[in-house]
Homo-oligomer: A and B are copies of this chain.
Amino acid sequence: MVKTIISVDPKKLPWQQETPLHNRWHPDIPPVASVKEGEVFRVECVDWTGGQIKNDDNSDDVKNVDLSQVHYLSGPITVEGAEPGDLLKVEFLNLGTLDGDEWGFTGSFAKENGGGFLTDHFPCASKACWDLEGIYCSSRHIPGVRFAGLIHPGLIGTAPSAELLKLWNEREATLVAEEGTDKEKTLCGCLHTRPLACLPEAKGAMLGKLGHFKDKQEDSEWLAIANEAARTVPGRENGGNCDIKNLSRGCKVYFPVFCPGALLSMGDMHFSQGDGEVSFCGAIEMSGFLELKCSIIKGGMKMLPVVGPSPLSVNPIFEIGPLEPRYSEWLVFEGVSVDEKGVQHYLDATIAYKRAVLNCIKYLSQFGYTEEQVYLMLSCIPCEGRISGIVDVPNAVATLAIPLAIFDQDVRPPKTLEALAAGVKVVQNVCMSTEGGAVPFDPRL
């Protein structure tokens, strides 16, 4: 019998869960459970928004989402014997949905709420809901695709030490300080419309056993922690919100340990995700469980490369599990680092990938989908985003590969233009979006 060390009830609000959740990174957030090396244990997680999004046909919940609260994590978990400098090997024995909560959502935030990778093209909030049937998923909002999930936690990591936390806050504050400057305007081409980084913010913070902002906002001790606790938005040295779709069943992740007991936390469960998770809220977001087993390599953090001025500048490494769905036929889209305005960028893989994604959206929309439907689709189907060439000045080349077997029609280029016109199945556009809808995508924008 697998021991459940953290259970959740997706019907309750985040602050009503029996075991307190947390949504910030800080070494002082107290552990809520403890495990031994070799022990198999089960952790349950709410969806990353803590239940803000509903299984319905209106995307106002996505439009009005409160992002100060995210991501709600289960943990921290003490791994007995783990000490700073160790390497924590975590084996993902199983992952799945919670009984009675077998659904998920894919969304795109409104531009004023941060948007997604293509927010300039899709500035309005949208949502697609997915029915999860065992290994398969399908959506009434994006008909015509059905595929096997590759369940994974979008977010899992160990707690940062005070020193690492300081490193994060300083470097991210330095970046944010550039907002509005000339320098910022050149940062990564046309992606300026989003906040550069999310610095610590007490509002919305939930610090596990230490309590929630709504109860603690006048507690100076709590505030001291909340005001330096890192947001969970990006992936960092501790793992965190890496959104790597391959952290699925059977994989083995090697995390650096920065705090006594390692203090492992996780959440943001995804039923499936495409490389890049382009629409941001873009995987098939769900509640779910993980069954894990940990072991400790004493002093093993030395095995992790250090890249940077601090000895803490490391990243996790992992072994892929044996159960990923495999596809044999793929259609691939190329992109180079010339942006939608025709401006040439220098070896910019982000721009190149953006263009590959836009190419795919436009192409697939010839088969009866709206562009917004494809945007959401690419965010969650098991598509592969590759950095193909990164040295041929000035163009980085990125590719986006989509598996043909997930479609109920043949989306390869037909032999004639007429065949394309004749063969396209009209897929009803039921992918909702708030009033105003998507701004029509002008390919010559």
- Complex CA–CA separation, A208 to B375 (angstroms): 44
Q: Answer whether residue A342 sits at the interface, using C-beta atoms and an 8 A cutoff.
A: yes
Chain B residues whose C-beta falls within 8 Å of the C-beta of A307 in the assembled complex: 340, 355, 358-359, 362, 443
A388 with B328: CB separation less than 8 A: no
Q: Mark A299-337, 1 if CB is under 8 A from B, else 0.
A: 110111111111101111111111101111111111110
Chain B residues whose C-beta falls within 8 Å of the C-beta of A345 in the assembled complex: 175, 187-188
- Complex CA–CA separation, A21 to B107 (angstroms): 46
A117 with B390: CB separation less than 8 A: yes
Q: Which of A131-139, A220-228, A428-436 lines the interface with chain B?
A: A131-139
- Complex CA–CA separation, A339 to B313 (angstroms): 10
B388 with A276: CB separation less than 8 A: yes
- Complex CA–CA separation, A46 to B205 (angstroms): 47
Q: Answer whether residue A93 sits at the interface, using C-beta atoms and an 8 A cutoff.
A: yes
B343 with A171: CB separation less than 8 A: yes
> Which one of B92, B134, B243, B346 contacts A93 once the chains associate, using CB atoms below 8 Å?
B134
Q: Which of A356, A358, A387 has the most CB of B within 10 A?
A: A387
Q: Which of A58-66, A244-252, A259-267 lines the interface with chain B?
A: A244-252
- Complex CA–CA separation, A274 to B235 (angstroms): 24
Q: Mark A2-36, 1 if CB is under 8 A from B, else 0.
A: 10000000000000000000000000000000000
Chain B residues whose C-beta falls within 8 Å of the C-beta of A320 in the assembled complex: 329-330, 332, 401
Chain B residues whose C-beta falls within 8 Å of the C-beta of A99 in the assembled complex: 1-2
**A404: nearest chain-B partner, CB-CB:** B319
A308 with B341: CB separation less than 8 A: yes
Chain B residues whose C-beta falls within 8 Å of the C-beta of A87 in the assembled complex: 413
Q: Which parts of A369-395 form the interface with B (CB within 8 Å)? A: 384-395
A394 with B343: in contact, given A319-B412, A417-B297 (CB under 8 Å)?
Answer: no
A306 with B235: CB separation less than 8 A: no
Chain B residues whose C-beta falls within 8 Å of the C-beta of A346 in the assembled complex: 175, 187-188, 191, 196-197
A318 with B347: CB separation less than 8 A: no
> Which one of B325, B394, B444 contacts A306 once the chains associate, using CB atoms below 8 Å?
B444
- Complex CA–CA separation, A443 to B309 (angstroms): 8
> Which one of B136, B330, B344 contacts A174 once the chains associate, using CB atoms below 8 Å?
B344
B347 with A188: CB separation less than 8 A: yes
Q: Which parts of A413-444 form the interface with B (CB within 8 Å)? A: 413, 415-417, 420, 443-444
Chain B residues whose C-beta falls within 8 Å of the C-beta of A293 in the assembled complex: 133
A350 with B348: CB separation less than 8 A: yes
Q: Answer whether residue A258 sits at the interface, using C-beta atoms and an 8 A cutoff.
A: no
Least Cβ–Cβ distance between A134 and chain B, in angstroms: 3
- Complex CA–CA separation, A46 to B100 (angstroms): 23
A417 with B300: CB separation less than 8 A: yes
> Which one of B297, B311, B349 contacts A350 once the chains associate, using CB atoms below 8 Å?
B349
> Which one of B319, B366, B388 contacts A275 once the chains associate, using CB atoms below 8 Å?
B388
B243 with A300: CB separation less than 8 A: no
Q: Which of A73-81, A122-130, A277-285 lines the interface with chain B?
A: A277-285
A390 with B353: CB separation less than 8 A: yes
**A313: nearest chain-B partner, CB-CB:** B342
A303 with B443: CB separation less than 8 A: no
The 10 closest A-B pairs by CB, nearest first: A93-B134, A305-B362, A94-B134, A234-B395, A243-B389, A349-B349, A328-B328, A385-B387, A171-B344, A197-B394
17 contacts between A and B (CB under 8 A): A188-B345, A188-B346, A196-B346, A197-B393, A234-B397, A242-B397, A275-B387, A276-B387, A276-B388, A297-B417, A298-B416, A305-B360, A306-B362, A306-B443, A309-B445, A322-B325, A353-B387
